[in-house]
Structure 1
């Protein structure tokens, strides 16, 4: 059995080491030997992206609730962590146990979007697992894929043993049952894959062989006679709220740092560009009671101060007004706000907006998608300019100053007039809808290039070139007024590569591997993306990437034709024809069945809440700005230690961790006033990442005195990671921002006692130690010597006292080690440093 991966000498050297240490609230760490099937769920992007992914959390809890399986997590490391692991020949590992990925039975890799494809190779390479499925043997884990991009997995099909199409909640249970049998019977890898192919929704790429002629596919030959196509798996209805009642609470801040509640799955609006709207049908709504149960348990067990209502079309939820009123009635007094993803114009009602603002005005985005009514008819958006103006007018009237619009360029039949109309629409929204509010109103316009997606009516349409995309963006930059508007856009080069892979085939596997070998990493991040690497790789592979953006004919074989979403091809073809005629297809929730083919009306059918639930009267609304009455503040100083892995948390991460622990502990924390209230907590000076401390503290203002300090210490400790311990709580007269002297213990095992002693003597003899710092592009000099009160060596330990004057520039132990004892920056990062104690001092005049 492999031992735990040792990363103690790696973490101090990388950015955001907290990404790699695990220990988040509500993680499950079961005993390895007691579980028979071992999964590691991998999100092929950075921690901040992966920890925002709802699907990963759902599967994590499903597997860990079983008595015969466990699931751990892993994310793609950043480039510095990748280099550090390679330099030390250390394998990539799971967060829960730092166990090498090769130890697991199954690696479940999410396929969320096309620009993460090279990250999959990074994960496999660092795990010392062959990249191509054909090169693996019985000693290697099964590499299983799934997710939104799995509906055309062909560009990465050669890297996977099997891929799940559709909803994963049921099939992951069936896979576990299968693997229990596989392990008991000692089946070969080939036998395992044949058994997996019998499960509805499981695609085994090695059992299909595409044939080509030039840029076209002539056939996709099934290699098993009974296995000729794969049908997407559909979950008939949303599962029990108890399944996700204890959400994973990240410490490193993810892009969506909130409690996500999936209120519905599927959308039948029928936007012709939208892959998710086709591949996640039919609509399955949760009841209001189930959502309230999820919110109650989720906030209690997490401490989040925001919950997000998630679905493809949240505004279409049948009982949204009622739900919002109930949520805000329950959570407004706890300063928990509610946000929603991009809202369909016309569904963001005054009732909903009024409820949102009861705590804080969370931002919202409306998505007209196109600038003209004509083009919105082509894409079946089903909204008109008046709908947008009404939505904006309501938002501005209720106190919002900023609205974000999202548009696409390059949509089928788009003209120059359609593009320029984007600006005209934004202008009207600001001038007409925001009338009377003057310069306070701002419109942010976000632009993305249309990428044709498989399994949609527009899967046959061409994608515009990156040059055309850039020209359209430049035109918008020219004509959009600067005052009161802002323009953001997705880089055309990234959209270009996304388009290549969106409708790509298996021949692109060589391109992905070659580009990865040339250094392509984290392509979804603009700071890492380099299209030139891809172009050079394409030339080497003899691939013309532009051909993948071309128009397809209705009679040609598409790379994904053997993979079925459940929506009939005839329906997609008819929708394409209707788009050219600007004909509207109604939502089947309102206009009757549109014959898309997904429902059997027995097991698979729309599940929408009854109207009686949606018609519950909302609570009376208070449109006035919420002002909490002034309360007497009881100030407490909480002292705590940060040891072990908690030394790798950044200061902002510690702040958020403490805020949530106070919430979960039920302390009556006071909040600031206004539209964006925040807890009244003041922290001691930020501790540099990588340094331990036995002498940290924060002040918290409470609305009533604590009845038992000892019990509060116990309660608060229970809400903190094991590496953070509350040592004392005292009642104070007020919050103090004091100067202090801190004692640090530095362990220098790599140096001889004589070397340490000589360096200390030399340092203590210095009259000054002037260094140069660059802050905000300005150079400043600072004399470190007066800030070092004392330095003394005791064997391999160095004790340093540093003075920290409130409001004045200070230093830290690593800076002193580098400049005062001539350690290299890497040596200063690797030595173990611990803040031992602090004492308050007077600030010099």
Structure 2
């Protein structure tokens, strides 16, 4: 790997050695602003020295900087970004012989820390900026569970202006977190709860970071759940382009993409849009807030020759007619002369969302295995319809069942993270209960965490979505 502007810190035998571990591939870890911030914050402390670990570098057992074995470190800080990263994290711990302090954070911990408690001394719930010293020294601070059960929230600052630049998920680019949280109300999305309230980095702050890193890369990646919702998005893009940067937003909302956006962003190879559902009815159930007209207009005015579309299935109230609407939308975009790439995955009913009461598969009248069987039928149906008109990828049903089980599990799930959980494991050890629907009065493990919202509010959202789906609950 080739890195630009890597952080060098003089070795000291007196410094406490901190391992910053991303239990997944380097290309994702180097593109993660949270990992970059964690690494920066540890190394700015005189009495600490941080080194990084990735699963595809020395199998996650030696550091990138010096190839030092993990067992030589005093503290290991893990960032769990995806549920299946838990398997890699536990494998790294068991294979390395590490005996120091083990702490895990990241979105998967924030959404539900309980499956991870068996394997870590502490877990961190929320945003860790300017709290690393307290975390490492095990001091009482918001977010450090079980010392505190309150999610920690911070303001976006400009303290970390320089960063390591490498060829990551966005190519060779300067990463600027444009905003955190989301002002939208999509009922399937966990972002608006675990990163609330929505916050935007100021225009001046964004330009300052870009100026500080001129010469390290020719592209800026603007990262947020919905960058085009930033109140000064167009002005920021224009200023960055005047500085000589190519600008790449992490995502585009179809209802915010107009001729001015298309002209400013210029020639792009691929435009990525997320209708999530093919029918207007199901988009209302999801509270997605975009119409088919929005999607078609964005596809038509974009200079992109390829349109990438994200959809979900296994939604509440879904019929095969709704699946046909996905096919019809793809056909309409293809008729514009565009090539179409389609990525489809089953809905994972996440904690803290209005859909947390749903079963995996979305049908409250079916048990877990019946829902999985129906999801497989729908997957085959979609693939048979789409493969002739698009480049289509439909995620593995059993893999997303595993994600659901981990995301909604309790402390007992910790007994299964030292193996590769599969559907056979779920059935053998009777973990199907985490795939089933729940009554509105059910007490979830994560209800013990103060996330800063009222459960009654998202319960009402769930009831509204069921009404729109025509489901009695």
Do they fold alike, i.e. is TM over 0.5? Answer: yes
How well do the aligned residues superpose, as a CA RMSD in angstroms? 2.2
Higher relative contact order (CA 8 A, sep 6+): 2
- Summarize the Cα distance change of 1:466–1:342 in structure 2 as closer, same or farther, 3 Å threshold: farther
Q: Which secondary structure state, in structure 1, belongs to the residue aligned with residue 169 of structure 2?
A: coil
| 1:324 lines up with 2:283 in the alignment | no
Q: Structure 1: which 5+ residue stretches go unaligned?
A: 1-17, 83-90, 130-139, 180-191, 205-226, 435-439, 521-532, 584-845
| Mapped contact 2:151–2:449 kept (Cα < 8 A) | yes
TM-score by length of 2: 0.91
| Mapped contact 2:269–2:305 kept (Cα < 8 A) | no
Match of 2:120 in 1: 160
| 1:261 lines up with 2:214 in the alignment | no
Q: Which secondary structure state, in structure 2, belongs to the residue aligned with residue 407 of structure 1?
A: strand
Match of 1:60 in 2: 39
How far is the alpha carbon of 1:368 from its aligned partner?
0.8
Match of 1:231 in 2: 150
Match of 1:142 among 98, 101, 106: 101
CA distance in 1, matches of 2:238, 2:440: 48
Match of 2:368 in 1: none
| Mapped contact 1:110–1:147 kept (Cα < 8 A) | yes
Match of 1:369 among 276, 281, 306: 276
Match of 1:417 in 2: 321
Give a deviation string over 1:81-110, Cα, whole Å, max 9, x none. Answer: 55xxxxxxxx92222232232333321000
CA distance in 1, matches of 2:275, 2:394: 15
Match of 1:570 among 432, 456, 467: 456
| 1:468 lines up with 2:374 in the alignment | yes
Q: Which secondary structure state, in structure 2, belongs to the residue aligned with residue 560 of structure 1?
A: helix
- 1:322-471 aligned at under 5 Å gives the runs 322-331=235-244, 336-357=245-266, 360-395=267-302, 399-431=303-335, 434=336, 440-464=337-361, 465-471=371-377
How far is the alpha carbon of 1:350 from its aligned partner?
1.8
Moved over 4 A (4+): 535-539
Match of 1:294 among 209, 216, 234: 209
| Mapped contact 1:114–1:501 kept (Cα < 8 A) | yes
| Mapped contact 2:80–2:105 kept (Cα < 8 A) | yes
How far is the alpha carbon of 1:268 from its aligned partner?
2.0
Q: Structure 2: which 5+ residue stretches go unaligned?
A: 362-370
| 1:510 lines up with 2:415 in the alignment | yes
CA distance in 1, matches of 2:384, 2:422: 30
How far is the alpha carbon of 1:341 from its aligned partner?
2.1
Give a deviation string over 1:535-572, Cα, whole Å, max 9, x none. Answer: 55556xx5123322100112222122212321211111
CA distance in 2, matches of 1:141, 1:239: 31
- Summarize the Cα distance change of 1:428–1:167 in structure 2 as closer, same or farther, 3 Å threshold: same
Match of 1:580 among 461, 466, 473: 466
CA distance in 1, matches of 2:131, 2:54: 22
| Mapped contact 1:339–1:362 kept (Cα < 8 A) | no
How far is the alpha carbon of 1:389 from its aligned partner?
1.9
CA distance in 2, matches of 1:323, 1:535: 47
Give a deviation string over 1:265-297, Cα, whole Å, max 9, x none. Answer: 110201111011221011111121211121222
TM-score by length of 1: 0.52
- Summarize the Cα distance change of 1:374–1:535 in structure 2 as closer, same or farther, 3 Å threshold: closer
How far is the alpha carbon of 1:307 from its aligned partner?
1.8
Match of 1:249 among 165, 171, 178: 165
How far is the alpha carbon of 1:171 from its aligned partner?
1.9
Q: Which secondary structure state, in structure 2, belongs to the residue aligned with residue 561 of structure 1?
A: helix
| 1:309 lines up with 2:219 in the alignment | no
- 1:518-537 aligned at under 5 Å gives the runs 520=420, 534-535=422-423, 537=425
Match of 2:79 in 1: 110
Match of 1:477 among 346, 371, 383: 383
Q: Is the radius of gyration larger for structure 1 or structure 2?
A: 1
Match of 2:65 among 96, 103, 108: 96
Structure 1 window deviating more from structure 2 (275-284 vs 461-470): it is: 461-470
CA distance in 1, matches of 2:430, 2:376: 21
| Mapped contact 1:419–1:476 kept (Cα < 8 A) | yes
